[in-house]
Structure 1
């Protein structure tokens, strides 16, 4: 998750969107191939997105605090 957050932080606009869409698609494929139901897989990717955004926000706040 932290790796995804770091890559997203290095990108802007459409590049960031394209990276996230590609990453989410890859994860959904992996989960599907592991036998995870599509709805549950989508929930997991959504949970990951919230965790990534939270990690990015926490690092951003830490930079401001310095």
Structure 2
């Protein structure tokens, strides 16, 4: 999931990337909520996911520079 979202984000720029992430985050929040996860915990999980995605992008970018 992390790598898939990271690759899509890498293919987008500016507002397209922002819109994609906002839409993806919203969908995940809805899914977590429907699963009975509290809104606070769901937001934390989406935040953790975002950090993992950004780390994945950074790692891949660093690898291409070597």
Normalising TM by the smaller chain, what interval?
over 0.9
List gaps (5 residues or longer) in structure 2.
none
1:24 equivalenced with 2:25 (yes/no): yes
Runs (4 or more) in structure 1 with deviation over 3 Å come to none
Number of residue-to-residue matches in the alignment: 65
1:22 deviation in Å? 0.2
CA RMSD of aligned residues (A): 0.2
The TM-score normalised by the length of structure 2 is 0.98
